[in-house]
Each structure stands twice: as structure tokens, then as C-alpha cells.
A and B are shown apart, each in its own frame.
Chain A
Amino acid sequence: MGDVLVVAEHLNGVLADITFEMLGKGRELASTLVGKVSVALLGNDVRPLAEQLGAADSVLLVEDPALERYTPDAWQQALASVLRDRQPVLVLVGNTGMGMDLAAGLSAALNLPLAAYCGDLRVDNGEVVATSQVYAGKLCAESRLPVDGAIVSVLAGAFPVDAGKSSEVASIDSVAAPAIRARVRFKQLNVPEAGDVDITREQVLVSVGRGIQEADNIALAEALAEVLGGAVSASRPIIDSGWLPRVRQVGKSGMKVKPRLYVAVGISGAPEHLEGMRGAELIVAINTDPQAPIFDVAHYGTTTDLFDLLPLLTEKVRGLRAVPA
């Protein structure tokens, strides 16, 4: 029988979208595999969250003060115990800041194979085939998973959120947590200060990547953002270099944005970045590499050098704005 188990992810009392995305897909796979889909929900006093997971056949509620906040060590110990008991054919974990610890940790703890960075799943001849993005999204690998059990870490946004939502009553199973030896302890959560620009609210974003080359050149993007009435955001390398504050980061570990216009300047389009902006209404990409993955999600693109293009574009837009419509 092919049971699927989804590991729920939540923060501050809110279930992350990835949980529903995996649940929706998990339900579909379980049905094809003639099995059941359950969700492992770890935490403390999280029954209200469990009630949102009605799309699952059962919610395995594992509550314990040691599990109140996510920490890799405690959650891994608890999940290992649940998995040893239930032995599902397929375990779905988010390919996220929380999930990366768990997926690989559980793979080693239980000697289960792991397919990471998974963007698609299907059943073929009773076996699960996972399609993973590798080499910064330049290539995809299709792997057939062993029937006796495997873990898959799923990319955020790979599957539709709505398929995992349901008004059905959740069937909740309380599972006792094992004794946990917490070698990693939660101290505090840091949420970025408001005050700077909230890029998730901006209608126009001019986003810079490594192609901008130096901090000073960001001024070119700022000029364009200004005439467009928007703000400047960036991909991870720019933020890591300290050239813009973290609240400007677009991507998997940054913000998810859905502006009317997203201008990607010198951004190659690694999967982590695309996760953050592919929902934008109109995407224009500027990158000298015609093979850059960003062009697969952009609506319009050009390989013109950004240093030549940006000043001209800024002037053109300024000119068009100056003329009353």
C-alpha cells in the first residue's frame, strides 16, 4: 500500500503555503498508489492548525513543549519516531529553511533515499518518479524512487495551494512524542523591522542581481525605479554583500512579490529567486546571457547591456510621463 506522509510547516501560528501544496499533491499521489495521505503536525497547542488540514485522511498531531518552536534536532527526533511507526512509502518535506534540515537528517537517520529540489512528482507503474531541479535550475533530473520508502523535499510553489485546502473535518490522531534530548534550543525569532520599503506592497519593482557588479551601480536601478514610481529590490547575492537591506530581498529566503511590473536587471534566474517573483504580472528581464533561466519566466527580455540600457530607458520613461496622457 502506498501511504504518503506530509510534514507540516508552520510559524507563529500560521501554516505555510508549502504545507497545503504538498498536501494537495500528496492526496493525489496517495490515491493513485491506493494508500492514505496523512500530515505530521508537530508543535505545542497546535490543534487549531490541525483543524485546517481536513484534506488529509488523518493528521498525526505530535505535541510536546520541546516541539513548540521549530528546531532541527527536536523535530527530527520526533519525526524519526513517527516514520519508524508508520513507514509511509513517500514522505514530503518542504525544500525550505526548515525542511532542508529535516529531509536530509531523516534520510540518514532512517536510511531512506532522498530526492531534493523537487518540482514535480508523478506515479509511473506503481512507482513514484520525482523531477528535481539541479545545477541552479539549468538541468532537471528525473529519479525513480524505491517502493519501500523515500523522502522528497519539495520546492515552494511547485504545486497549487488550493488543492490542499478543504473544509472537510480533519481526522486528528494524537501521537505521543518520544523522549527528546534537545541539543538545539530556540532563543528568539527576529522579524525584520518595518520602516524601510515593504517590497511586497510595491506595484513596480526594479530588481538587481549580480550583473549590476558594484554597489554604486545600484543608482542606475534607483533612477529607473523612481521614474516608474516603484522601488528597488534585489536577489540574494546583493543582499549578502550588504549593498541593500535584507527587507529588499526577493526569493526563497526573502520576500515573495507580485507587483504589476518586475524589471529583473542582471539577474540570472536561479530557482531560489524565481520562487519569489514568478507571479508578477509583467516581467521584463535584462541579462547579457541569452541562456539565463530568467527568460523562461519573463514576458519580455533583452540581452542589451544593462549599463547601456538603463539610463536610456529611464530617460524615455521620464519623457513619456512628462506628456499628459
Chain B
Amino acid sequence: MQRRTSRWLAAGALAASGALALTACGSGFSSGGGDDSGALTSSNKALSVLIGSSGDAETTAVKAAVADWSSSSGTKATVSAASDLAQQLAQGFSSGKPADVFYLSTDALAGFASNGSLLAYGDKLSNKDDFYPSLVKSFTYDKKFYCAPKDFSTLALEINTDMWKAAGLTDADVPTTWDQLETVAKKLTTAGHVGLGIGGEYARVGAFMTQAGGNLMNADSTKATADSAANVTALDYVKKLENDGTLKFAKDLGAGWGGEAFGKGLAAMTIEGNWITGGLQADYPDVKYTIVPLPKGPAGAGTLQFTNCWGIAADSPNQKAALALVEKLTSADDQLAFSKAFGPMPSIQSAAADWKKANPTLVPFLDAADYAKGVPTAKGAADVVTDFNSKIESLATSDPKTILEATQKNLEALVK
């Protein structure tokens, strides 16, 4: 027994000394860095850029743009595509050696901003006023404009033109109100496909909420508005279409997302963003379709927008160069090149006219920028939305008001 005790003591001592040793290394990291003094760090260190790429086209385009900047500015920069962006960013921030410039989603902004990992450089951008105001709002946390919107996407209605004609519908029948949408969805529903097939999640159903004048949170994500009457109206409407059998969620159709259901011909209409064009071209090139704005609801036009920004790390040793790189990457020329390569819409208003000229069929997506609403960005909102999504999946058999009240309670806990 004696011996055993001493062995445990030895193990404990080893562990304790190990922990102490680590504490010692730990204190080596600078715990500051995120100071608000306003001065940017500057050095001749190379920049590292971490992106969450959708594929080779995107990686190549970003690499080309960054290499271009490198050769003109003389600062070296390397681009790497993350396999799990959130995880790699978190690892970088905790080790004190994060990537200098990186993609950042609206979901992740609050978490990283609140722990001081991000540099709030928005107000220092020379092209600050050119960004769409609603996008700037999406990347404003605690009244600070954190990062430059990289690009954005909105939702619109995609219609399969062959099915449209087969149902005897003409251009004059394109739905502009909820009632008309209900009518055409009924006409388009046959034994082989439903009228409207959408993803059963907030990111699609939420568009109806904005059309009814609601959303889960207010525009600044400072107040929970989930249980508003407008949201109940919207979910009631979706539930009604579902129970009529004219609307089905993609998963119930056996598809991973709306675009797949649409491409496979399981749905005559779907609600997706501008990324659907690439997906359809690659996987279902034979599907003919047209894109129209989403119909207006009781409170007028509404849709959701999704965006990412170029984050800069507070711990970056070369923030000055990083800012210059971001200004270049968000310039009209670069954004139009990105758009050509992999399809997103430019986040600056001055590039809109050129983009519309280059993409005449996609104009409804960009026009929606005028009335599009962002998704909640409060810290922890992503979890609440996931919870909301899990309840939306069974909307057909549940009470919209109960779902929204539970979500309201969860959102209120975030902004308390």
C-alpha cells in the first residue's frame, strides 16, 4: 500500500509539474493584441489567407487574385483552402498564430468577435460606403463594423419551364403574391412532382417570414422577434401549402436540398439562392428553368440574404498589408472576376450594373438586395436556428405558434 501511494504521488507530481510547465509556455503568448488603439500592426511578414472554398474554381480564382496583389504590393501571401474552416480558425486563434485574412460567416462573427480574435477594421476601409448597408449591418457586432462583406447571395424563385408549360401556364401567370403562388403550386402538382419543393429550414422558410413583415430577430440582431404575429402568419401559410400537398420539403422528397429536388424533377419550383445555377449546370444540365423574384407577402417583397466577409485576425503581425489585400479583393474588378469564376454577387453597389449586364438571367437575385433581410447574428444564434430548423422539419404536424414561442425564449436568452 505504501508503495502504491508513493507511486500515485509521483504521478501526481509529474502531472502537476507538466501543467505548470505548460502554464509557463502559455504565458508566453501575448494576451493582448485586440486593443482598440486604432493603430494597425505592420511588418514585412508574409500573409496567410485561409478560405472555405466551394471547389477548385473558387480556390484558383482566389489564389490568382491574391498572387496578383502580392506581385504588385511586394508582400508575400499564401492561400490555403480549409477543410473545416470554423475548426481551423478556432485552432489558429487559440494558438495565437491565426491566418491573417480568412473567410468568416455571419454565424461565426459574434463568437470570434466577442473573444477578441477579430480586428474591427470596417471603418478603415476606403471603399466602406460602397457596400450594401444591409450587408454592413450583418457584420456589425457591438456597434463596430468588423469586416468587409466578401460577396452575397439572395433567395429567388426558380421555375422549371417545361413543367410550367405542361401545366398550361404562361408568363402572365408568374406568381407575384402568396395567393398566386398557392394557385400555381396547385396547378403544378402532379403525381410525379410537387409544385414547390424547398429546403425545410429557416434559411428558406424565413423568406416567407420577411414577406409577412417578420424575422427571427431585428435587423441589428439585438432583439428577439420570433413570436411576432407576422411570423405566425408566414408559418401558417407554409403549413397550409404543405397540408395541401402542393409544397414539400426537399428531405421529404428524398433530396438533400431544394436544388437537388428541382434538378431531379421532383419539384416544379424551388426557392434557392444564386448558387443553384452552378449546381444545376454541373449535375442537371438538361433542366430548363427561369428565375423570378419571390412573390410578395402581406407586408410586401421580402427575401433572405447570405454573406461572408474577409476577417482579419487581431493577432496578425501585418494588419496593414491585410487591410490593403482586403480592399483589393473587394474591389469591383476582383469581385466581378470572382463572380465569373464561381458565381456569387458582388457586395459593392458600384459593381451592380456591370454584373447585371454580364448575368441578365440572374438579375432577380441582385434586385432583391434592396429588400433582403439578414439572418440573426447574435452570439449563439446559430444554435437556436438549428433548433428551430429541427422543429420546422415537422411543421406539417405541429403548431407554428408553439415552435415560434420556443424559439423566442431561446433567442431572448442570447440578448439578455
Pairing of A with B: no
* Chain A interface residues toward B at CB < 8 A: none
* Chain B interface residues toward A at CB < 8 A: none
